[in-house]
Amino acid sequence: MRFNYRTGLVHGILFCACAGGVGYYFLVSICTEKGTESEESEVSKECSSLVITEKPAKRAEIVITMEVTAYCPCKKCCGQYADGTTASGKKATGKIIAAPRKYPFGTKMHVPGWGWGVVEDRGGAIKAAGETLKPGMRVGNYTIPVRTLEHDRIDLLFPTHAEALRWGRRVVQVKVVK
């Protein structure tokens, strides 16, 4: 907060992280009839008006190299107990991304060649960079080789198995909005 001695105004920005991870900042202007440096602590007592402007804070955007694979809601991709529901409890339709736990549900990502999607799912082979895939880990009928991941790994939801196979496995620059 700063006090303008010429105009008698106190200005400042107060940041508040609110529920759901959405941040807002409040532009605060306190108008006073008079003011001096020694009265700065008493400014709020002499207020004639208080104006608070609420604006959504800009979300942080980062670009991360990720290994991107694809899946569909079928039993081959999701296992014999697949019921079309994601780990977040949402129906497995639309632009859904399965991502490591370091990306909370609701995180938005842009994948080149696929578009914008939202993290709403997890997966056994979906790991962060530096993690090791367990020996014998299976996805459907496919056994994943043991290795330490160089990049974060995400999985994109496609409506059909054929489309998921067409996507394959790609290493791309993914824009993440937190």
Final residue belonging to a domain, choices 35, 56, 77 = 56
72 and 135 inside one domain? yes
Domain termination site, one of 56, 76, 95? 56
* 37 and 81, same domain (yes or no): no
User: Is 71 found in the same domain as 7?
Assistant: no
Tally Cβ neighbours within 10 Å of residue 89: 8
Same domain for 66 and 151, yes or no, is: yes
Which residue from 23, 22, 26, 24 is spatially nearest to 12, judged by alpha carbons? 26
The verdict on 79 and 19 lying in the same domain is no
* Model confidence pLDDT, tens digit, residues 56-104: 556 788 999 999 999 998 888 888 888 888 999 999 899 999 999 999 9
pLDDT value at residue 43: 38
Classify strands 170-177 and 108-111 as parallel, antiparallel or unpaired.
Answer: antiparallel
Write down the pLDDT at residue 147.
72
At 126, which CATH number?
2.40.40.10
Give the tens place of pLDDT for each residue, 95-131: 999 999 999 999 999 999 999 999 999 988 788 888 8
pLDDT tens sequence across 2-59: 544 455 545 454 444 444 444 444 444 444 444 444 444 433 334 445 555 555 556 7
Residue 104 is part of which domain span?
61-177
Question: Does residue 30 sit in the same domain as residue 73?
Answer: no
**3-state class (DSSP) for residue 77:** helix
pLDDT at 129: 80
- How many whole angstroms separate alpha carbon 105 and alpha carbon 17? 17
| Whether residues 9 and 48 fall in one domain | yes
Residue 38: CB atoms within 10 Å: 7
Do 116 and 148 lie in one domain? The reply is: yes
Are residues 52 and 66 located together in one domain of the fold?
no
Count of structural domains, the chain: 2
Mean pLDDT confidence for 156-166: 94
pLDDT at 178 over 80: no
154 pLDDT tier (thresholds 50, 70, 90): very high
Q: Please identify which residue in the block is written with the tokens 């999985």.
A: 155
In single-letter form, the type of residue at position 126 comes to I
Close Cβ partners of 157 (under 8 Å, ≥ 6 residues apart): 70, 71, 72, 73, 92, 93, 94, 95, 96, 97, 98, 117, 121
Report d(CA 137, CA 164) in Å as an integer.
Answer: 19
**Is the same domain home to 100 and 66?**
yes
Residue 81 and residue 120 in one domain: yes
Same domain, 44 and 71: no
